[in-house]
Structure 1
Amino acid sequence: MIKEWDNIELDYDFLNEKEENYVKTYGSYKVLISDDEPEVHNVTKMILKDFVFENHTLEFLDAYSEAETIKAFEQHKDIAVLFQDVVMEKNSTGLHIINYLRHEMRNQMTRIILRTGQPGEAPEETVIKDYDINDYCLKTDLTVARLKTIMLTALRGYRDIIRLDRYRRGLEKIIETSANLFTHNTLSDFLTSILNHLSGFYYETEGIMYIREETEEYNHNGFVTMEQSNAPIVVAATGNYVRYIGRNIKEIDELSSIYQWMLTAEDENSQITFVGKGFIIRNNSNEAPNNYIFIEGDKELYNFDLIKLFLSNYSVALDNYLLNNMIFNAQKEIIVTLGGIAEKHFDETGEHVDRVSEMMYNFARILDYPSAECEKVKLASILHDIGKIGLPDSILKKPGKLTEEEFNIIKEHTKMGYEMLSKSNLEILHMASEIALCHHEKYDGTGYPRGLKGEEIPEISRMLAIIDVYDAMCHKRVYKEASSHKEALEYIESHKDQHFDRRLADIFFNNYEDITV
């Protein structure tokens, strides 16, 4: 190997300096020097030790063989620039490394400077064309100015590639997030999800290493306020602000600066403003006026172009969510009212409906139903006896044993309930109609009204059969006294595979305390 670097006077004192003397708080770009000559490493680092690009310094990594170079890339996914020698163990080692990096590791980000002392081993035009490198140079031509110019060009290229990749991934994230905005059942869950998504639009550490104090922790802390009864209430929060959920922001000393900004902000067109130790977002929602989001964080860390793009979707999503939530709550209120009317028709308290719906919700959760489905099960279960509205009081409230004819009339409430509910196109009422029709079917086929057997009976109706019998036995009715919990459980245990689905009955027993109310 030709010793091109012998005539340079070296000063190695800088290698003994502590890192904090030259690493800026903004971070550093990683530079890998792959060369089998230690002098090349030392000289390169000496020339570039004070190099700064856009407030970022350089962090040097060293590799002296092909294996060490590959290992460095496996350990560091964010190497910005590679200085690669052509001839190392073999005449083609450098080219083999580059080929492996680009094609096997699929690394298209790292900028590559190929250096050689033996130009005949790798023709310049062929190498640049076939190996996707940034620059190809002879070691003898590398002056201080030339080396710094090469580094500047390489880092610009790396920065732009990383930026484009981040925007691509950011847009993918916005699309993915927007598609999942309505998977949350409560407003708090919805807004917390929005908060978490917004907190995620920060500049990732891939490509740039942000240097922080050892004691410093970085969490996504933030909150959302919404005007309720003319007061700004914290309706959702993450991290350190969770303890403030439900409180008026003007009564929280820690948030006084943010509240003052909300009172005095004059520029209504300013969507994002830095206040205190973070930034506050004014959301321009039609259905939720005076809605603000606050997220802790340094201005330099966040990609506000993506945040603004996401916010345009968020405002529309929040309006739609509140409208849908209002419609859902209206439906819920109507269902609860109907269920109460039906229950009080034959039970003065009407508490049976409430208990059954709560236990059905708990049962559905134990069975890992999706959250939204659990809510539907809870509401639909309220209407399981809605058909009893059509039955005469003389039979419903008869204190003694029913005759066979009277019992046949009682059976009709399943069909009546189905007829009342099945004509609706609402999914929740369709579920309720199925429950109303089938909740007196028995697993062995001896139930009514259709004599369904086994899994012919919808699972929700098989669940309700257990819950309905358990609650009916444990509470007093006009025609009977209450049984003990133990007696109710013994009845269910003794009627598995007859009245009840054995699998569901076992799950009920194993999770008894979590299901019953």
Structure 2
Amino acid sequence: MMGDFLFSDEPEEAINEIELGTWKVLIVDDEPEVHAVTKLALSDFEFQNKRLEFISAYSGAEAKELVKEHPDAAIVLLDVVMETDDAGLQVAKFIREEAKNNHIRIILRTGQPGQAPERQVIINYDINDYKSKTELTAQKLFTVIMSSLRSYRDIISIEQSREGLEKIIIASRDIFSAHSIEHFIEGVMQQLTSLLGIADQAMYATTLVAQNPEAQNNKKLIVCSGTGDFEKSEGKELDEVLQAEQLSACHQALNEKSIIYKDNYLFAYCSSEYNHNSMLFISGIPKDLTDTQRHLIKIFSQNVQLAFENVQLQSEIEATQQELVYRLSEAVEQRSTETGNHVKRVAHICHILAQGYGLSKHDADLVRLASPLHDLGKVGIPDAVLNKPAKLDAQEWEVMKTHTDKGYTILKDSPHEIVSAGAIIAKEHHEKWDGSGYPQGLSGNAINVFGRIVALADVYDALRHKRCYKEPWTLQNVVDEINAQKGTHFEPKLVEVFNEKLDELEAVLNRFPD
């Protein structure tokens, strides 16, 4: 009879269990009859539309391996005495201390209570229940499994909420730290994939789009950014981009100011403090989202609009700063024979060199923003010296050299990062790698890397363009000169980057001609 039971599982029932989903129960006991009776007593058990999946181990050593293989097991029915008198207790200790599994519910079952007194075991081991095999009837087994599964379900729910909250915090941090609209949607997609486990494509549309003032005034949703099929839809009205079914779901979410779920996509209305309508579209989402995932999406969508407005404000501030720096620098350059586009070219050249050199994105952006201030000190140089069409004499040259200190004096002691970087650049962009430059005669790494980068960018652009005292040099002559100055005027590594990035540098010159 027992043998008939052990081999009586029908394939159809197994398939149904997989379809319903299962709760994993580890049975750890050295007596095969215990396994069979347990399975029989719980054969019709069901909790939250999920059946039990039994996994058997017949020794403590085997149990430890199964615990590692099935970290998602909900319950372990654990015998105390197996290959040793305390084998089960050692498994319980292993689960909590080595496997670090605090979720699984450990129910200790023993046929020899005297070997492991209940009070002592409960105190010394992190188990959840203690039962004598003689008292564990079918009904009591049903009761202990049901109560243990409820505890396990609640623990998992709390853990998922904790993980979800952590992901939301990380998502908010990463998205709010974005400094460009281009990176914004990338951050949204990355975090949504983390929250949901999968997401094919996303699209973000808003009425807050500066490049389309007419649409903004009419409160029309404009695609701001997107991935996949929406990648090329930026700037278009949402009505032109969506299919009829999608558009209907979008309008429903907009009217209800809510999240509308469809088979494999959703539209989430994003709230705003400034009365701007925005919509987040995500496709490729799992069909059976959990309540936790839906709650996380709700929280996420509430933060997306704030993040977008933060990114746009940040971009506007940076654009304003850059515009002011350019205009200030151009005003200075207009006093000399250099053109206003010189500072723009130098800025972009510095950015390319900084990236090739290996500076962080932050530092590469910083040298781009600050480099236009490199010749600010020329505002204090007399016109007769600044615009002399011939070579400067010794006295005039000493006057010209003071522009580095003058620029530094104007910019130093600023609490703002761009201005502070500009002060360093103004002072050090005429220093040379071998120490023969001015004003301090610094050499090697004693020269700030921003100064070293601007030095090369400034010379390259100056040689490639006409000045009142010279004609523009050919590209080959400039390349030969810069390579000849490798290790003397310029840092060797920067010269190597210059050679590698030459095509990109020449493209900058073509983009901003005199």
| TM-score bracket for this pair, using the shorter chain length | 0.7 to 0.9
> Relative to 1, partners in 2 of residues 1:416 and 1:182: Cα closer, same or farther, differing over 3 Å?
farther
Q: Write out aligned runs for 1:144-163 (5 A).
A: 144-163=138-157
Q: For residues 293-372 of structure 1, what are the structure 2 equivalents within 5 Å? A: 293-296=280-283, 297=285, 298=287, 300-301=289-290, 302-310=292-300, 313-347=303-337, 349-372=339-362
1:423–1:141 Cα change, 3 Å: closer
Partner of 1:292: 279
- My pick for the range that moved more, 366-375 or 392-401, is 392-401
- The 1:129/1:181 distance shift into structure 2, 3 A limit, reads same
Which position in structure 2 is the counterpart of 1:13? Answer: 8
1:3-62 deviations in whole A, cap 9, x for unaligned? xxx88972733254474332236x433222222233433443344445332233333323
- The structure 1 residue matched to 2:202, chosen from 192, 213, 222, is 222
Normalised to the residue count of structure 2, the TM-score between the two structures is: 0.85
SS of the equivalent of 1:322 reads helix
1:242, distance to aligned residue in structure 2 (A): 4.2
Hey, what does 1:3 align to over in structure 2? none
Q: Is the 8 A contact 2:407 2:423 kept in 1?
A: yes
1:423 Cα deviation (Å)?
5.9
Moved more, 164-173 or 61-70: 164-173
2:428 and 2:71 map into 1 onto residues whose CA distance is 58
Pick aligned residue for 1:24 from 1, 16, 19: 19
Matching residue of 1:500 = 490
Counterpart residue type for residue 294 of structure 1: F
TM-score by length of 1: 0.84
CA offsets 1:228-263 (integer angstroms, 9 cap, x no match) = 332423333456654545543322244x43433443
Structure 1: gaps (5+ residues): 1-5, 205-217
| 1:54 aligned residue (38, 41, 48) | 48
Aligned identity (percent) is 37
| Cα distance, 1:63 vs structure 2 | 2.0
Report the counterpart of residue 277 of structure 1 in structure 2. 264
CA contact (8 A) 1:257 1:276 kept: no
After TM superposition, list the pairs within 5 Å mapping 1:242-257 onto structure 2.
242=231, 244-254=233-243, 256-257=244-245
The 1:237–1:36 alpha-carbon spacing in structure 2 relative to 1, beyond 3 Å, is: farther
Give the number of the structure whose residues are more often helix, by fraction. 2
Q: Note closer, same or farther for the CA distance 1:242–1:69 as it changes in structure 2 (3 Å cut).
A: farther
| Count of aligned residue pairs for this structure pair | 495
Measured at CA, do residues 117 and 461 of structure 1 come closer, stay the same or move farther in structure 2, by a change above 3 Å?
A: same
The question of whether the paired residues in 1 share the 8 Å contact of 2:377 and 2:410 is answered with yes
1:480 and 2:475 are equivalent in the alignment: no
Structure 2 residue matching 1:136: 3-state secondary structure: strand
Instruction: Indicate the SS of the match to 2:9.
Output: helix
Residues 385 and 135 of structure 1, relative CA distance in 2, 3 Å threshold: same
Alpha-carbon shift at residue 150 of structure 1 (Å): 2.2
Match of 1:137 among 131, 137, 145: 131
Secondary structure of the residue aligned to 1:472 is helix
CA contact (8 A) 2:25 2:73 kept: yes
**Which residue of the other structure, out of 370, 381, 386, is the alignment partner of 2:376?**
386
Matches within 5 A, 1:372-411: 372-411=362-401
Conserved? CA contact 1:224–1:235, under 8 Å: yes
2:105 to 108, 111, 117: 111
Counterpart pick for 1:123 among 113, 117, 121: 117
1:197 aligns with 2:197: no
- Does 93-102 or 182-191 show the bigger shift? 182-191
State the alpha-carbon separation in 2 of the partners of residues 253 and 314 from structure 1: 21
- Partner amino acid, structure 2, of 1:259: L
> How far is 1:97 from its partner?
0.6
| Contact map agreement 1:188 1:235 (CA 8 A) in 2 | no
CA contact (8 A) 1:287 1:319 kept: no
Aligned mates of 2:498, 2:275 — CA distance in 1: 42
Q: Is the 8 A contact 2:249 2:267 kept in 1?
A: no
- Which amino acid in structure 2 is aligned with residue 31 of structure 1? V
Paired AA for residue 71 in structure 1 = E
Q: CA RMSD in A?
A: 3.1
